[in-house]
A = this chain, B = another copy of it.
Amino acid sequence: MKKEQFYDYESRLSRPINVKIPELQTGERLRHVIFADQFTRGILERVTRTADRIRTVHKSKDGCRFLRELLPHIKAMLYFTQPSTRTFLSFMSACQLLGVSCAEVRDPKTSSESKRESPIDSMRMFSSYFDIVIMRSNQPQFAECCAYLMNDLGETSRRSVPIINAGAGADEHPTQALLDIYTIQRALTFDHPKDSSKWTWFEELRQTEPGLRRGIGGKKIGFCGDVRRGRTVRSLSRLLTLYDDMSMYFVSPPHPKLRIAPEMKSLLIDRKAEVREFSTFDDPCGSSSVIENLDVLYMTRLQREHNSPEDEADFANLDFNPYRLTSKLVARMKPYAAILHPFPRDEEFGEIPTSIDADPRAFYFRQARNGMWVRAALLAYLFDVDSQIADYYEKYTAETKDYNTGVL
């Protein structure tokens, strides 16, 4: 977007986030989804509960039909000018679950921008035909601008639709943080049939770890790899401070361009998290080593495509080997620990070798599928049909005889 077009928004874009957030919602209720920081503990619980209900209800064909009848009046625009098959397909299948019609623009060359149309005009066009715009752009803050544009239109009684930020450059990617939280929560509830090997697993675990409790609070979360530049690490770690007594261990090369940023560290500490930095998984931690302490390990790709030539020179002598997970390391992890990765993983570097994929602690493929469920739940929330899902779920679980827990 050209400078001139920001004229209306420039001053708004530079405000602190706590001033911005109220503008993106109606009271407590989210209208646009632009920042991970918009998610409160209450919203996280509401959306993840809906996600659980959707996946349960979806097990039956009637349930599928019920879901597909929820939003037949909604048309979604998937505007993905920055390529991302994973996020794109995840949103698309979330829409399909709820009967939302989708249209896509993925190649900016097919768009009117070739006729010198402004991105703002393109966005108003999308909002003319569609009821929500889910967008991924390589222009940082473009989704935020679009949200302000929609607000301005709404204020003058013109057509205005919600905007979902599906990732913008190295910037925010709020729904990734949402699916990460959802995956961690499911892993640490210890009772989902797909997330654990047995129904009584929690009791079993308590034999050896009597202090273990269900849920995210009080857990030790490790982040490994590019912990400074990876937006997923930044978003997720901030969200985790919504839970009590969190410990966050950052395992990264001890280089100022790769270690967690000091201001990020301070922010987490201010929010009451215990924050520690390590160079390897073998570094001592408590009575053992880092790897043995973790409840969750969030691996990331070393984003070499973001390296400047200067970075390449700086990093030439670093040993990146410790930031590859190995089967040996995994064997030392807690039996219930969950390994996550925002994907795609780097086939060449191999931060998670495929030999680990079959380990029950490998949660990264389930994590992808969780993305679909939680994005469907977010859409249900935004269009206010999540209470209908709750009602159907109650009826469904009451009727389903082979169903013996309320937790699913």
Interface residue ranges, A against B (CB under 8 Å): 2, 58, 61, 64-65, 68-69, 72-73, 75, 77, 83-86, 89-90, 92-93, 96-97, 101, 103, 105-107, 109-112, 114-118, 120-122, 124-126, 128-130, 156, 158-159, 301, 305, 343-349, 354, 358, 365, 368-369, 372
Contact = CB atoms under 8 A, between A and B. Distances in A.
Given A109-B83, A121-B344, A344-B112, A89 B101 contact: no
A107 to B, nearest CB: 8
29 contacts: A65-B72, A75-B96, A75-B97, A77-B89, A84-B112, A85-B112, A85-B122, A89-B103, A89-B125, A89-B130, A90-B129, A93-B129, A93-B130, A96-B103, A106-B110, A112-B343, A115-B301, A116-B346, A116-B347, A116-B349, A117-B343, A117-B344, A117-B345, A117-B346, A118-B354, A121-B344, A125-B368, A128-B369, A129-B369
A347 B83 CA distance: 25
Contacts of A305: 115
Q: How many copies does the complex hold?
A: 3
B65 A73 contact: yes
A358 B156 contact: yes
A85 B105 contact: yes
Of A86, A90, A369, the most chain B CB neighbours within 10 A belong to A86
A243 B125 CA distance: 30
Contact of A125 (B343, B346, B358): B343
Nearest to A131: B93
A156 B112 CA distance: 41
A344 B125 CA distance: 9
A-B pairs, top 4 by smallest CB distance, nearest first, are A64-B73, A117-B344, A96-B101, A93-B129
A103 B110 contact: no
Given A89-B130, A92-B103, A93-B103, 6 more contacts: A85-B122, A115-B305, A116-B347, A122-B344, A129-B369, A159-B365
Contacts of A83: 109-112, 114
A19 B106 CA distance: 42
Nearest to A97: B75
A69 to B, nearest CB: 8
A122 B343 CA distance: 10
Nearest to A372: B129
Contacts of A121: 343-345, 347
Nearest to A63: B73
B73 A61 contact: yes
A346 B126 CA distance: 18
A379 to B, nearest CB: 15
A202 B210 CA distance: 77
A349 B116 CA distance: 9
Given A343-B121, A365-B158, A68 B61 contact: no
Contacts of A301: 115
Given A103-B92, A106-B110, A110-B106, A125 B61 contact: no
Contacts of A158: 365
Given A73-B61, A159-B369, A111 B85 contact: yes
A347 B117 contact: yes
Contact of A346 (B68, B84, B107, B115): B115
A101 B68 CA distance: 11
Nearest to A2: B347
Contacts of A115: 301, 305, 344, 346
B65 A128 contact: no
Contacts of A58: 73
Contact of A64 (B72, B124, B347): B72
A65 to B, nearest CB: 6
A232 B95 CA distance: 36
